[in-house]
Structure 1
């Protein structure tokens, strides 16, 4: 089942890259991504990660944060996964000290969730609400995922 989900997500990445190639002046790595349907998802992620830091990728982070909030509200992901993704976006998505500082609230939310689930400090419901409130700032960027926004 996880294999089928990875295939679907891999195909979504390739479709997105193809749309970008058609409509924008993109880095060469996008072409490499477009031709990577036979590669493993891990290899595709390495290509994406190599792009990060070479070009301006603040906007994709905003889109991912908005989409994450939306997916949680729509009950497509669990609370545990919600905070796992928040932590992953912070640790893997920030490649500079400036980004670490800008997105430090993600680390704070992740730590708050850990402390609440361990019964050390705070309530899970409160930290979930804090996370939803923080990520509301990024919800407007979700529309950039639609095909209409690419025109």
Structure 2
């Protein structure tokens, strides 16, 4: 059940930052209902197609039951890195997700300190796109290197999510 709670945190972040949509969340909840003994909140999540994104985020937050998104942040960072390398997302989307993840996931002082490099990456990308300082390609390579340590966290997705 702990993995499901962590994955609820992952889906919270993914929905909040626009990486996943409501249908993705409902499909995940349906898969969990079929495969695991789960709390009622998963059924509520499965039936949330007509609810607002804020309502779905609230259900996901109650499933995760924490305000520290350290592991879900690590999973998300590994996932967007992987998707960028596979060219599933563009460089603009990659940095947009990094920026949004910084906003959505850094809600504790610990997270702000641990993930402060995300702000640096976002700023570097902005400066490069505005031709103020650096090149987008160099900033992207730096970001990929910084996020390399999060690669292993995507294994948690394989264990508990049917993508």
Give deviations 1:1-51, integer Å, cap 9, x for gaps: xxxxx9x8323212323445653665x644432331332445323433566
Indicate conservation of the 8 Å contact 2:67/2:107, yes or no. Answer: no
Q: Choose from 97, 107, 113 the match for 1:95.
A: 107
Q: What is the TM-score of this pair, normalised by structure 1? A: 0.77
Give deviations 1:106-140, integer Å, cap 9, x for gaps: 11100000011111111111110011011111111
How many angstroms apart in 1 are the aligned matches of 2:23 and 2:156? 18
How many angstroms apart in 1 are the aligned matches of 2:30 and 2:122? 34
How many angstroms apart in 1 are the aligned matches of 2:78 and 2:37? 23
Structure with greater contact order relative to length (CA < 8 Å, sep ≥ 6): 2
Unmatched 5+ stretches in structure 1: 1-5
* Shift in Å, 1:68: 0.3
Q: How many residues align?
A: 142
**How do residues 43-122 of structure 1 correspond to structure 2 at under 5 angstroms?**
43-49=55-61, 54=66, 57-122=69-134
RMSD: 2.7
SS of 1:120's partner is coil
Indicate conservation of the 8 Å contact 2:68/2:108, yes or no. Answer: no
Moved more, 78-87 or 45-54: 45-54
Moved more, 121-130 or 31-40: 31-40
How many angstroms apart in 2 are the aligned matches of 1:96 and 1:29? 25
Unmatched 5+ stretches in structure 2: 1-17
